[in-house]
Structure 1
Amino acid sequence: MRYASITDRLADLGSGRWALHATARRMKAEGQPIIELTIGEPDLPPHEDLLAECSRAMYAGRTRYSNGRGEPAVLKALIAKYSKRRPGVSEKNFLCFPGTQSALYAVMMGLAEAGDGVLVGDPLYATYEGVIASTGAHLIPVPLRPEHRFHMQAEDLERAVTPEARVLLLNTPHNPTGAVLTGQEIAAIGAICKKHDLWIVCDEVYEQLIFGDAFASPFDMPELAERTIVVSSISKSHAAPGFRSGWAAGPEEFCEKLLPVSETMLFGVQPFISDMTALALSRPFETAGIMRDNYSRRAEIVQKTLAGSNLLKPMMPEGGMFVVVDVTATGLGGADYAWELLRKEQVAVMPGSSFGHQAAGFIRISLTVPDDVLEEAVRRMANLAGRLAAMPAEERAHLGA
C-alpha cells in the first residue's frame, strides 16, 4: 500500500525520542520503584477555581462546537494580556488551539514548505524537528553553546542563514537548557531576521517560570512586530498540560491567512476548556509563583548535591523546569549514561540526544518531584558516575542503550 511522504519524514521523529521515558513507565507499572525525572509535567494540580470553572461550563452546556478563531471570552483575555506588552492588539491578532504543540504545527504549516529552511537552536525541544519536517522544510541548526549558557548568539545565527531560510524558531525560556534570552540578545537576533527577511516564531510556554530577570520577547519590539508569531498555552503556567489549551499571537494578516489552515485541522477548541482558559488569563493565580520557587530551589539542590563531583556538571537554568547535566567525564554519552542510570539505579532522565546534536553529551533532569526524592535521585546519579569512571574503557563500551 502507498503512504504519503510525511509518514516517511516523521518515521524517526515521534515517540522514539521518548523511548527511555516509555520504558521507565512500563517498569513503574510493573512495580519497580522508578524515580521519574523525564517529562515536563508540573507536580502541582491546576487551581481549584479553574477546575470548578471547567466543570461549571460543562454542566452549563458549553460542550457544543466552537468557531475557528477562538471563544470570545478567551480572545478578550488574550487581548488584555498581550496589550500590556504591545498596545493595539485586537482579536484579529490571535488564533486559539488545543495546546502549544498544535499551535506550532499550524503556524509552521503556514510559513514553510518543501525547499524552505527553518533555523532553530540546537539543543531544541524534541518535537521541533518533526514539526519542521511535517511541512517538507528542512531544519537548519544554530549551535547553542555551553560557554554562552546556551543563549543563541547573533553571529552564530548569521553564519547559519542560508538562501533557503524562511523562519527562525526561538524558544525562551528554553527547553531543555533553561536559558532565558535578554532583550538585548533578542534585538540582535531580530536584526539578523530583518536583514534576511525571516519570520520569527517564538515558543513562550515557560514565560511565567523565569527565576531572575524580566521576560523579553520579540513580540514586544515594534521593529519586529510584522514578522513575529508567539505560541503559548496554560499547560506550564497554570499546571494544566492535559487540558490542551493554547494560542498563536501574530500579525493580523498572518492570522487571517492561517485561519483556514486552523479550521481545516480542527475547527475550534472545546468551549468548556476555553471558559477555564479565560479565567486563567483574567486574574492572577499563585500556581506559577509556587512552581518558580520550587524549580529554582530544586535546581540548586542538583547543583549542591553534585558540587563535589568532577564527573557530572550541571548547567544552572535561568527558567523552566529542567536542568541539563554534562556527563561526558563519565566516559559515556548522554544516551548511554541515561539507559545505564535507569537499569542500575532506577532513575529515569531524558538523554540529551533527544534534543539535538549539541546535547548529546548531556542528560535532562525534570525538577517536578519533591526535594528529597530529587536529592536521592541525584545521589544515585553521582554513585553511577563514580562507578563508570573507575571502570575499564573496554567494559564501558558495552554499556548503555
Structure 2
Amino acid sequence: MKYSKLVERLQGKRTAAWEIHHAAQQALERGEDVIILSVGDPDFATPEVIVERAVSALRGGDTHYAEVVGRLPLRAAIAKEFARQTGCRADADNVIAVAGAQNGLFATSLCLCEAGDEVIVPEPMYLTYEASVRASGATLVPVAVDPSRGFHLDCAALEAAITPRTKAIFFATPCNPTGVVMPRADLERIAQLAVLYDLWVVSDEVYADLTFEREHVSIASLDGMAERTVTLGSLSKSHAMPGWRVGWAIGPKTLMEHLGRLALCMLYGLPGFVQQAALTAIENKAQIVADMREIYRRRRDLMFARLSQVPGLRCLLPEAGMFMMVDITGTGLSTVDFTWQLFRSQGVSLLDASAFGETANGYVRLGFVVDEKRLAEACDRITTFVAGLDGAGRRDG
C-alpha cells in the first residue's frame, strides 16, 4: 500500500530524537532507578485549585461538546491577560483555544503557508517545527545562531535568508532548547524586516512567564506587528498542566476564523471541564507562576553551579524556562554517544541537542524537571560518568 508524501514530510531526525526518552520511560516502568531530564514535563502536580475546578465541572456534567474555538469566557480571559502583558489591543475574537501550543503552530502553518513558500526559523529550533512547516508544503529555511554568542540571533544572517519566496518567520522566545530570551532590539529588527518584506511572524511564547533576569517582550506589541503576528501560548509549563493540553493562538480575527475552521476538522474543541480548569488557571496565574518561576530559578542555579565545575563540560546559563544547554565536546564523545552511554551507565536521560539543529551539535539539553534532591543526584551521576572518561571519549580502565 502507498502513503502520501505528507508522511515523508513528517519524519526525520528531529522527530526521532525522543528514542532515548522513550527508553528511559520504559526503564522507569520496569522499576529501574533512572532520572529523566530529557523532556519538559514538570514534576509538579497541577495546582489544587485548578484540579478542583475540573473535578467540580465533571461532576456537574460538563462532558459534552464545547465551542470548537474555545468558550467566550476563556478566550476573553486569555485576550485580557495578553493585553495586560503586552499593551496590545485584543479581545476574544483574536483568540482560539487549541489542544496545546504545538497544535496551534501546526494549524497556523497550514493556514499561512503552501507549496513554494519558505519559512525562516532560527536554529536551534523546537523539534516539531520542521514537520509543522513541511506539512503545509512549504520549505523550512534554518538560520544558524552562533553558540559563541550564547545562541542569540544574528539579525543580519536572518535578513540575508529572505528571498521573494519567504512567507513567514517563525521563532520561539524564550527559546526551547537554549533558554534564550530575545532582546527588544532583535525583535525590533525582525519587525522592521517583516513590515518591509510583508511577512507573517509566528512567535512561540510558551515560556514567556518563566523568564529570569531578562524581560520578555512580545513582538506583537511593536509598531505594525499586531496585524501580521500570531502569538502562541500555553498553560503546560507555567501551570504544570502539560497533560491537560491547553494552548492558544492570538492573531488577526480573519486568521482566527480560518484556524477555527481547521480546528473543526482536526480537534473539535477542548473538553468543557478542561476549559473551566484553564479559566481558573488564568484567574490564579499571578501566584502560581511566581512560585514556579522561583523553583525553576533555584533548580537552574543548582545545576549550573554543580556542572560548571566538571572538567570537560561547559554550561550556558539559561535566561528562561526549564532547560539548560551543556557543551560536552570536551569529553571527546559525540552527543549521541554521550547521552546513551550516560543513560546506560548512570541511568540519567538527557537529550541530544543536535536534534534541534546542527548549530547545537556538541550540546546536550537537560531539564529542571525533578526536585532539587534528585537534580543534585543527577549532577553527581553525570560528574561520575565524565570523570570516568579519558578525554578522548573512552572509559578509563
Shared fold (TM-score, shorter chain, > 0.5): yes
Q: Which residue of 2 aligns with 1:34?
A: 34
Q: Which residue of 2 aligns with 1:83?
A: 83
Q: Which amino acid letter does the alignment assign opposite residue 197 of structure 2?
A: H
Report the secondary structure of 1:113's partner residue.
Answer: coil
1:1-400 counterparts in 2 under 5 A? 1-12=1-12, 16-84=16-84, 85-391=86-392
Quick check: 106-115 or 152-161, which moved more?
152-161
Cα drift, residue 352 of structure 1 = 0.9
Q: Note closer, same or farther for the CA distance 1:53–1:285 as it changes in structure 2 (3 Å cut).
A: farther
Q: Is the 8 A contact 2:147 2:359 kept in 1?
A: no
Cα drift, residue 15 of structure 1 = 5.0
Using structure 2 for the length normalisation, give the TM-score. Answer: 0.95
Q: Note closer, same or farther for the CA distance 1:360–1:390 as it changes in structure 2 (3 Å cut).
A: closer
Q: Note closer, same or farther for the CA distance 1:14–1:386 as it changes in structure 2 (3 Å cut).
A: closer
Q: Note closer, same or farther for the CA distance 1:264–1:324 as it changes in structure 2 (3 Å cut).
A: same
Q: Distance in 1 between matches of 2:361 and 2:154?
A: 20
Cα drift, residue 303 of structure 1 = 2.1
Q: Which amino acid letter does the alignment assign opposite residue 383 of structure 1?
A: T
Q: Distance in 2 between matches of 1:64 and 1:223?
A: 40
Q: Distance in 2 between matches of 1:336 and 1:223?
A: 47
Q: Note closer, same or farther for the CA distance 1:314–1:87 as it changes in structure 2 (3 Å cut).
A: closer
Q: Note closer, same or farther for the CA distance 1:301–1:266 as it changes in structure 2 (3 Å cut).
A: same
Q: Is the 8 A contact 1:335 1:360 kept in 2?
A: no
Cα drift, residue 143 of structure 1 = 1.2
The runs of 5 or more residues in structure 2 that have no matched partner are none
Cα drift, residue 256 of structure 1 = 2.2
Q: Which amino acid letter does the alignment assign opposite residue 70 of structure 1?
A: G
Cα drift, residue 14 of structure 1 = 7.1
Cα drift, residue 193 of structure 1 = 1.9
Q: Is the 8 A contact 2:15 2:128 kept in 1?
A: no
Q: Note closer, same or farther for the CA distance 1:383–1:185 as it changes in structure 2 (3 Å cut).
A: same
Q: Is the 8 A contact 1:103 1:248 kept in 2?
A: yes
Report the secondary structure of 2:203's partner residue.
Answer: strand
> Cα deviation per residue 1:340-359 (whole Å; 9 max; x = unaligned)?
11111111111112211111
Q: Distance in 2 between matches of 1:291 and 1:57?
A: 25
Q: Distance in 2 between matches of 1:15 and 1:170?
A: 18
Cα drift, residue 56 of structure 1 = 1.1
Quick check: 315-324 or 70-79, which moved more?
70-79
Q: Note closer, same or farther for the CA distance 1:215–1:318 as it changes in structure 2 (3 Å cut).
A: same
Q: Is the 8 A contact 2:330 2:391 kept in 1?
A: no
Cα RMSD after superposing both structures: 1.7
Cα drift, residue 87 of structure 1 = 4.4
Q: Distance in 2 between matches of 1:27 and 1:45?
A: 22
Q: Distance in 2 between matches of 1:108 and 1:257?
A: 11
Q: Distance in 2 between matches of 1:72 and 1:175?
A: 30
Q: Is the 8 A contact 2:178 2:323 kept in 1?
A: yes
Q: Is the 8 A contact 1:47 1:285 kept in 2?
A: no
Q: Note closer, same or farther for the CA distance 1:192–1:63 as it changes in structure 2 (3 Å cut).
A: same
Q: Which residue of 2 aligns with 1:399?
A: none
Q: Which amino acid letter does the alignment assign opposite residue 378 of structure 1?
A: C
Q: Is the 8 A contact 1:232 1:247 kept in 2?
A: yes
Q: Is the 8 A contact 1:62 1:272 kept in 2?
A: yes
Q: Distance in 1 between matches of 2:337 and 2:354?
A: 10
> Cα deviation per residue 1:137-174 (whole Å; 9 max; x = unaligned)?
12111112222221222112112223322111110111
Cα drift, residue 177 of structure 1 = 0.7
Q: Is the 8 A contact 1:13 1:130 kept in 2?
A: no
Quick check: 312-321 or 189-198, which moved more?
189-198
Q: Distance in 2 between matches of 1:374 and 1:340?
A: 19
The runs of 5 or more residues in structure 1 that have no matched partner are 397-401
Q: Which amino acid letter does the alignment assign opposite residue 16 of structure 1?
A: A
Cα drift, residue 267 of structure 1 = 2.4
Q: Distance in 1 between matches of 2:162 and 2:78?
A: 33
> Cα deviation per residue 1:66-85 (whole Å; 9 max; x = unaligned)?
22321011012122112222
Identity %: 33
Q: Distance in 2 between matches of 1:106 and 1:209?
A: 25
Report the secondary structure of 1:152's partner residue.
Answer: coil
Cα drift, residue 241 of structure 1 = 0.6
Q: Is the 8 A contact 2:99 2:267 kept in 1?
A: no
Q: Which amino acid letter does the alignment assign opposite residue 315 of structure 2?
A: P
Q: Is the 8 A contact 1:335 1:363 kept in 2?
A: no
Report the secondary structure of 2:119's partner residue.
Answer: strand
> Cα deviation per residue 1:30-56 (whole Å; 9 max; x = unaligned)?
222111111101121111111111111
Q: Is the 8 A contact 2:229 2:251 kept in 1?
A: yes
Q: Distance in 2 between matches of 1:220 and 1:253?
A: 19
Q: Distance in 1 between matches of 2:332 and 2:292?
A: 34
Q: Distance in 1 between matches of 2:154 and 2:14?
A: 29
